[in-house]
Amino acid sequence: MKLINKKVLSFDCYGTLIDWESGLVKALRTLGDEVFKSKSHDELLGIFANIEHAMQADQSQLKYQEILYLVAQKVSEENGLTTSEHQLANFSKSILEWQPFEDTTEALQKLSKHFKLVILSNVDNESIAVSAHKMGDPFYKILTAEDVGAYKPSHKMFEYLFTTLENEGISRDEILHVAQSIYHDHVPAYDLWLDSVWINRRHDKVGQGATKEVSNEYTPKVKFRSLKEFVEYVDCVMKSSIR
């Protein structure tokens, strides 16, 4: 990977730029705090992940807020919870309240001086518009599962990214994908020969949180514990290139 040759940084959003784990856990507890109060942060994420992955594979035509509604319904059924329509609807809309990580907005501002920034996200257009605004709207393009009719790790999402940028005169070799989830992002990036860097937001935690575990062969060689660390690396490379 030669960073100096890259024109575009494509980002996963939720988990990389937006703190989806904290948002999910908070939303899950609204479904049944009495039942879930004894469960850890990661146990709740595991409950969510097992259901969400299946829903996205089986119901890829649905918008992400609709996926969240069905996940909340299934979580409730499997855990003996009695949830109202209001609770389910609130869970599906909770994504609109999820917040950026502390380093996200400033990092994106700095990176936008060197690259075009693109989001490639497993969500609907309404949700991503709200989240992008929270981050200062620094994005050149925003591509979503709603646009594609598929969810990562489907290769369709990445092929849509390639086609969209090729129409702008940007080749695959000029894209660097930046993401937290190995399962959703780095596995397909590896398969499709797309350079990627790992923002390991869970570096101080055990397990994969709300994503599936995969073989170590997919772990990117270039990794950072935060977006701030990545920006520091980028700044160093860019300064060296103009000496």
Active site residues: 12
109/12 Cα distance (integer angstroms): 16
SS3 129: helix
SS3 96: helix
Work out the angle at residue 46's Cα, subtended by the Cα atoms of residues 97 and 206, and round it to the nearest 5 degrees: 100
* Sequence-separated contacts (24+) of 47-51 with Cβ below 8 Å: 47/75, 47/78, 47/79, 48/24, 48/75, 48/210, 49/208, 49/209, 49/210, 49/211, 49/212, 51/75, 51/78
Distance of CA 22 to the CA centre of its chain: 13
198/221 Cα distance (integer angstroms): 8
